[in-house]
A and B are shown apart, each in its own frame.
Chain A
């Protein structure tokens, strides 16, 4: 298993364009998380899935953001009508929900720059 992979690693887009990021979790992990990280800050929770079900979305998440995890495998995060404030590192993590075995494995992130 190669761990959590994210694609693309970097994305530069013009304001107003739509972007989509992909995350492939560790195959046996049932939970998948999306976080956003801006410069000098810790990762901020956006949303998470258990299998294919999206169980929680942050109240900070605007309706321009949508995430899916069809068939409970890979996930996509789409941002519509991007704004400069969306510029950040978008991190995906996967985990198993097994009590003391719980831990998040992170991908290398997608860095979004909105110009």
Chain B
């Protein structure tokens, strides 16, 4: 099946620093990638949708200047948390929709645990 990877799987950073999370579709091209945030024992909240080569579309309440998304190629999207604060600590999950194949398909990465101290 299709595989989506995320790197790093866990990261601890100091308050005020920036952290970049990578999301890659390993064996397919993804026209659309999604970034979600999940708090403990909570559901996934969509943060933004990105299409290759264009600006990301952010959900209401998500600060686009704080959560920078770059979808540079058909296999890579990055999420940069700028000037991170402890309240940004969360589990970040990306998802990718294949360029080709059945329209129902959407695959999820294993997630990145961000802890801001």
Query: Does B bind A?
Result: no
